[in-house]
Structure 1
């Protein structure tokens, strides 16, 4: 019931109450609307400076009329004020305007990581004084990081892999006393000592300063940061001891100090770090024993390889129940391995190669069925191969070479389904190879050399169709070579020498179309040499010496294919083909009393024919009369022409010095006539290259080396071969001749001869029709090549460089390895070319390198130490080759605008991969490649990363690179994903291994 009093109140005061309510509504609500509108406008301005891919709808609801709090990636507080901008991993590109962002007065969080943002960061960042969280990681910014001292509320700072360079404002960090998470790694900051300002930030629990040019010693005061759970200082220039203060960091889960210059021992009290899960101090100069580590009961990954540790491995390591990764290779450790090692956990791999360890192999490392790699090379292990590994179906590699292991290999070892490499070389194993080896469908490399194996090679070995290399030299094998060996179409290396094999060489061997290296020497083989061996397209090395082979030398053998041929000490008869009667094959036919030769004086002359094949001889007789008439007719014409052009052309043939390095079927006159502008293939830094087609259709490439003292670089005019007058022999010319005249390898370009005179320096090469790898990958001549082809190019080029570094009497450093100097033949087989900058090391240079005042090489490929110290070693070539591998994997050039200013492909890939966020490396693989093979490309990318290590000693040798690539044959390796529950997010960890497929594998 409405009372009279309420009625009076309603009529007298209700209008006033209504007016008052409306007044307060406008007083309080209108400013809120205006504030929201201001923030909307600011965010729309931010949107206008950024671009995102069509696949990301992040900005779809960033529209006028929509509340800022409803924008995707925007978080507001209870007062409808913007407090967070979360736009990480949205494919955004463009510059970031902090004058706009920092106008958002309540902003506390900026997350823009893992995008494609670029440009410099303005000083307006200092206006974000309420900021607590800043993530700009994994972008392409440039310039210096601005002053940060005003961001006193900051708790989280992540700038790793962001592209910043120059001086970092370390002094401003001391004001950031609330900072708990600090990640600045993988940026090219100016070198500086360890920032002592960090020691004042007592709330720090995460520090990532790897690869950001920090030097000097780690201060003792690091122990004051007692909340630290993660400390990563790898890939820097730190020296001195690991400080004792680090032992006070009892909360540490991860400690990474690898690839520095640290010395001394592991400090006393290190065992106090009982929460440590991952410890990596590899590639330093640490010494002493490992006793301080025996109480680290939570340890999962221990990486101490490439140091100088000595003493025995503590037996307590066998009780570590969580240990999965154990890598101590290249140290001076002695004594046995703990026999319980790996028996408690999902043990993944062990690599203790290159130590002085002894005793038996621990038997239970595969107890949980997760064991993948057994790497114990170059130690003193004894006993047999534990039978427990015969059932370890997870194993991918077994490498126990250079030990004192003995006994028979358990039958199941031969047939493990995932093993790609079985390396038992240099031990005392005995007994047969089990027929079950035919079930090893993944086996690519079988190395049994220098053991006591006996019996026959089983016929079923030809069922292991992934085999690429078989090396069983220096054993006691007998019986015949399996007649079905021709099924191994991938086989490239076959070494059966120094055994007791008998019978004939199977004709089916000629079906192994990938064979490049055959050595059957020192056996009891008989019968004729199969003629089809000479037709093998890749055959480079053939040694059949010290057998009982009979019959004639096949006419199919060609010096154009064979770089090494040894048929000595057999029972061969008949002619030595003239094509093989060259200096390169001196001694190759000795010990065959039935052979004769028209040209080699140490053999009796052939009485009945010329030493040519019958067909060739018939053809020759048919044309000889015609040739005589033709020669007489042309001689006068040629003489008159050369005399007429003598005032402007090169001098007559009597002035030529033509040095032959192979048997030739052409003269210098044929070469000179073809050096015309219309035959110009290209111009390089040291000369022009011409294509020459001989009368018989053979194609050659002729290079004229520039005269370094000549101002005129016009080598030819019109159609006449006009060369600069008074050309002096250049250093490039001498280097190329010195390098290639003796080089004999299928993956090194063949130099047929040099032609020099007073006026010209010419080099005559084999012609490679597919141009350079650079052309195929990057220019208008590019062709689509899948990963299988790219892999074969990578492996072939690596073998060529391995030959230069390790296969010559003195190491040869190329100094200009790049994709444009890797040429491709008709079958896309790679050949290393352009040795104008090559250096043949003298004996006293083999370890110290050589300094030069001129930086040789090409931007994007030059190793960092070469650029700043001018010191050249084989590892400089390894770096450059790593860049080539990156080109093959990504399809990108060494220098691209998208990498950022002064950035190359190496820094781009490092910035992409070396951070704390989960990144799928497949994203870096060339998008034109088949999805099914991208995982295989990632394996090679890991090798490339190892090759391009900033520290030369951390790079593998080319011999090791070849092994890594062989291990990374497509579809051979498994993927290892490691996660740490202490990081709050999963992470793909790059785990490095000495003889691993890449030195770092996912």
Structure 2
């Protein structure tokens, strides 16, 4: 039978069709395995996106997968999906039709292997905001790319800039916020003429910005901030007429704004802050679409062009810390929904522009440290959107418009150091958001309104050096959040309200230089966090309440009053030797410049108390006799109790003093602190050198407590001996600039002396949580964090056997006269034995700093120190204590921060309010490191070596020659950004919970 002619004609095409169909089917099935391998590699991710990724499902139905018309994988779209793991690029790049790989804003780590070079069909590659490491491989083979985003992903080493020459189709390039090696501005970028987006901020660029940048005429966004670029802004930048955003902040740029800069007719956001630019800003007058102008911390001078007041889109203006003169344009901010102005620290004069809040949208008015005159315009009293008003240190005058006091959203009102007058208006009761009220150094007068006590958000009241009179409102105790009250230098009279003892958050009280009378309220002694109390130069009478003895005060001044009776023994220490002068009715057995106390110098009330105690003592005489043997050796007085001949000195460094010089100085006058195991003394040698001496009691005779059982005494004795031995064993062999120096030990049968360097600025705890807080700005805090980290790194990795501190906390980080930190107090430290593993089994540490593994094991290692150090970093950033009610239900700073990490705004709210706005983003970088350190699982915490590296990379942008931040640097540093560090902080935080 002959073949059908139809089949003869149609069979070859049919065979061809079946052949290609089988190839496509084979390719489809072949793409399943690479995707399943990707799923396996990311199996630890906290996501449900892979639930559809099963063998029984078509790959085109996988969540995040887009296929082309042939059913082959074209796109992998899984950004912001909490993906965690190492990407298998060898499998991913087997997808031959893959054009888009979008995995940005996840938690991916590991290196990007050279297998990426096989993804030759890629047009869109987004892996930004992750946690990769190592170098970026050569990208030359990815010549089809038009979108490349690798910013803020942990890359280091040298970037393959030359490979960009092949990527001529690129329109979007974002490589910033990585740890690349230092390199000049990549000239290869200048050849990418299709670019509309270029983000190279914070990627270690140095040298000049080359001419030729103006050839990238399609650019709408150009960001080169936080590098080390120098020289002048290129003259041809004026050619970028499509440019919408230009960010050059935190570099070392010099010169003036180039001629023709005003040709950037599309520019809306311009930030060249923190450079060394100078000259005038007349070119800015032509930027008709300008919405945000940030030029703070430069050397600009001259007047602000009047035309700036005609810019109808301008809503953000920061010019602080320059040399501008003359008035601000009268119409400034009167057209648009003006947001904020910060022109602090200049030489501006004239009136405050009247209409910046015409549309009722203004958030911040910051005019600190200028020469403004006149009053605050009346219509600002209707600006209910205002959250901050700071006009301190000007020549402003007049009465404050009544409505200002009651603005509902106002959190900070700072009018200090001006010539304002008049009263505080009663409508302050409406200021439900007001936290800080600063009115010092003006001519305010009248009585404080009782309604002030209903402004329940008040945290700090500073009214020093005014003419206020009348009584302090008796209802002030209603301010439960108040932590600072300064009413000194006024004319207040009457008594100190008893209700002040109800302000349980108070840390410092200054009521000095008034006409207050009556007794000191005993309730002040029950304030749990009070650290600063100054009641000097008043007419206070009566006895000093014994309740004050329970306070941990760093400053006490009750001088120049009419107080009587005995100074409480607990307050009769050397640091308070001048605190009671000018009270002739006081007596003290400890202070030689006061009369000794006699029976007649006590009040009848206290005499009755003594008689009662005597009778009660007689009733328990038998008990006292039973305890006689255990207390007869107790040291009732340290003076003269140390016998030189019974001591043995062991030096650990070259000494410039003798044993007797130290022993003779251990007297009550030199006592500066008390601890559970002994006392601390400040010793000044004949040559002027200052030392700190810790006196550790070993025998029970040193115990200033009642009799204990023999087993309890033995346990305490063994603990103190172990504490002493640990301290000596550690510090005698350690040599590091960030670890406290131990000069020698001096031992006897019942006690030991440890002689250290003296550190005048006390502990980090004191500086963060006491009256010294305002002295420590962010740049100082950063240096403290880095120095302390280096000290711990040395202990863990650099001194032979690893040393586990086991009690890392802010009170064990001491500060020298230049605020350089020293790790101290090694009483719980343990040296890891060679070959003995890295665990120690004794539970140790301080509540709030203890790592969570204590809950399920008594085995801890260096990672427990890392956790504790992470808590210290959180203290540095937030200014909060590790445990305190203010941080929410848990009272735990780690849990509190975890609960707040939802957005950039909530992150910025975590930063200590005393840190200047311009440095808060830098503080958040350190907060991110703290979060890594406090991961629940020890294995997920970095080593201290890695912590040091991360901190070094988190150095604040721009010059770091300012040692202490100025309080007046409160300029907003808000920027309009779609990529870069802000977005990184929003998305790239590992949660500790």
Matched residue, 1:29 = 21
Say yes or no: does 1:939 pair with 2:908. yes
Q: Deviations over 1:443-480 (max 9, x none)?
A: 11111111111111111111111111111111111111
Aligned residues between the structures: 827
Matched residue, 1:99 = 90
Matched residue, 2:43 = 51
Mapping of 1:542-557 within 5 angstroms?
Answer: 542-557=533-548
The root-mean-square deviation of aligned C-alpha atoms, in Å, is 5.2
Select which of 579, 589, 593 maps to 2:584: 593
Whether the aligned pair in 2 keeps the contact of 1:729 and 1:761 (CA below 8 Å) is no
Mapping of 1:27-426 within 5 angstroms?
Answer: 27-51=19-43, 53=45, 55-57=47-49, 59-64=50-55, 66-426=57-417
Q: CA, structure 1 residues 35+455, in 2 after alignment: closer, same or farther (shift >3 Å)?
A: same
> Counterparts of 1:945 and 1:717 in 2: how far apart (Å)?
46
Q: CA, structure 1 residues 100+905, in 2 after alignment: closer, same or farther (shift >3 Å)?
A: farther
Q: Deviations over 1:512-547 (max 9, x none)?
A: 222222222222222222232233222222222222
> Counterparts of 1:236 and 1:41 in 2: how far apart (Å)?
43
> Counterparts of 1:729 and 1:96 in 2: how far apart (Å)?
45
Whether the aligned pair in 1 keeps the contact of 2:152 and 2:984 (CA below 8 Å) is no
Q: Deviations over 1:832-860 (max 9, x none)?
A: 42246x4223xxxx9xxx9xxxx9779xx
Q: Deviations over 1:666-717 (max 9, x none)?
A: 9999889xxxxxxxxxxxxx99999999453799xxxxxxxxxxxxxx9987
Q: Deviations over 1:773-804 (max 9, x none)?
A: 9xxxxxxxxxxxxxxxxxxx999835576377
Whether the aligned pair in 2 keeps the contact of 1:798 and 1:962 (CA below 8 Å) is no
Q: CA, structure 1 residues 95+46, in 2 after alignment: closer, same or farther (shift >3 Å)?
A: same
> Counterparts of 2:565 and 2:629 in 1: how far apart (Å)?
38
> Counterparts of 1:260 and 1:34 in 2: how far apart (Å)?
55
> Counterparts of 2:160 and 2:139 in 1: how far apart (Å)?
7
SS of equivalent to 2:525: helix
Matched residue, 2:812 = 834
> Counterparts of 2:205 and 2:218 in 1: how far apart (Å)?
22
Matched residue, 1:513 = 504
Whether the aligned pair in 1 keeps the contact of 2:510 and 2:535 (CA below 8 Å) is yes
> Counterparts of 2:294 and 2:862 in 1: how far apart (Å)?
33
- In the TM superposition, residue 763 of structure 1 has moved relative to its aligned partner by 8.1
SS of equivalent to 1:558: helix
Q: Deviations over 1:238-281 (max 9, x none)?
A: 11111112222111111111111111211111111111111111
> Counterparts of 1:90 and 1:370 in 2: how far apart (Å)?
36
> Counterparts of 1:667 and 1:16 in 2: how far apart (Å)?
104
- In the TM superposition, residue 98 of structure 1 has moved relative to its aligned partner by 2.8
Matched residue, 1:824 = none
Whether the aligned pair in 2 keeps the contact of 1:804 and 1:812 (CA below 8 Å) is no
Moved more, 242-251 or 458-467: 242-251
Instruction: Output the TM-score relative to the length of structure 2.
Output: 0.72
Mapping of 1:364-763 within 5 angstroms?
Answer: 364-558=355-549, 560-609=551-600, 613-614=606-607, 617-618=610-611, 621=614, 658-660=666-668, 694-696=703-705, 760-762=752-754
Say yes or no: does 1:950 pair with 2:927. no
Matched residue, 1:678 = none
- In the TM superposition, residue 290 of structure 1 has moved relative to its aligned partner by 1.1
Matched residue, 2:805 = none
Q: Deviations over 1:851-890 (max 9, x none)?
A: xxxx9779xxxxxxxxxxxxxxxxxxxxxxxxx99x99xx
Instruction: Output the TM-score relative to the length of structure 1.
Output: 0.71
- In the TM superposition, residue 317 of structure 1 has moved relative to its aligned partner by 1.1
Whether the aligned pair in 2 keeps the contact of 1:95 and 1:119 (CA below 8 Å) is yes
> Counterparts of 2:164 and 2:723 in 1: how far apart (Å)?
70
Select which of 757, 768, 779 maps to 1:797: 768
Whether the aligned pair in 2 keeps the contact of 1:655 and 1:757 (CA below 8 Å) is no
Whether the aligned pair in 2 keeps the contact of 1:895 and 1:904 (CA below 8 Å) is no
- In the TM superposition, residue 436 of structure 1 has moved relative to its aligned partner by 0.6
Q: CA, structure 1 residues 272+605, in 2 after alignment: closer, same or farther (shift >3 Å)?
A: same
SS of equivalent to 1:299: coil
Q: Deviations over 1:404-425 (max 9, x none)?
A: 1111000000001111111100
- In the TM superposition, residue 22 of structure 1 has moved relative to its aligned partner by 4.5
> Counterparts of 1:576 and 1:950 in 2: how far apart (Å)?
49
> Counterparts of 1:668 and 1:627 in 2: how far apart (Å)?
25
Moved more, 312-321 or 612-621: 612-621
Whether the aligned pair in 2 keeps the contact of 1:283 and 1:306 (CA below 8 Å) is yes
Whether the aligned pair in 1 keeps the contact of 2:813 and 2:822 (CA below 8 Å) is no
> Counterparts of 2:393 and 2:336 in 1: how far apart (Å)?
28
Gapped regions of structure 2 (runs ≥ 5): 636-641, 651-658, 681-693, 709-717, 757-762, 793-807, 825-847, 853-859, 878-892, 913-919, 927-953, 987-993
SS of equivalent to 1:85: strand
Q: Deviations over 1:207-257 (max 9, x none)?
A: 111111111111012112111111111111111111112222111111111
- In the TM superposition, residue 720 of structure 1 has moved relative to its aligned partner by 11
Q: CA, structure 1 residues 941+611, in 2 after alignment: closer, same or farther (shift >3 Å)?
A: same
> Counterparts of 1:335 and 1:506 in 2: how far apart (Å)?
47
- In the TM superposition, residue 601 of structure 1 has moved relative to its aligned partner by 3.9
The structure whose RCO (Cα within 8 Å, separation 6+) is larger is: 2
- In the TM superposition, residue 561 of structure 1 has moved relative to its aligned partner by 2.8
> Counterparts of 1:663 and 1:577 in 2: how far apart (Å)?
16
Q: Deviations over 1:306-352 (max 9, x none)?
A: 11111111111111111111111111111111121111111111111
> Counterparts of 1:471 and 1:173 in 2: how far apart (Å)?
58
Whether the aligned pair in 1 keeps the contact of 2:457 and 2:479 (CA below 8 Å) is yes
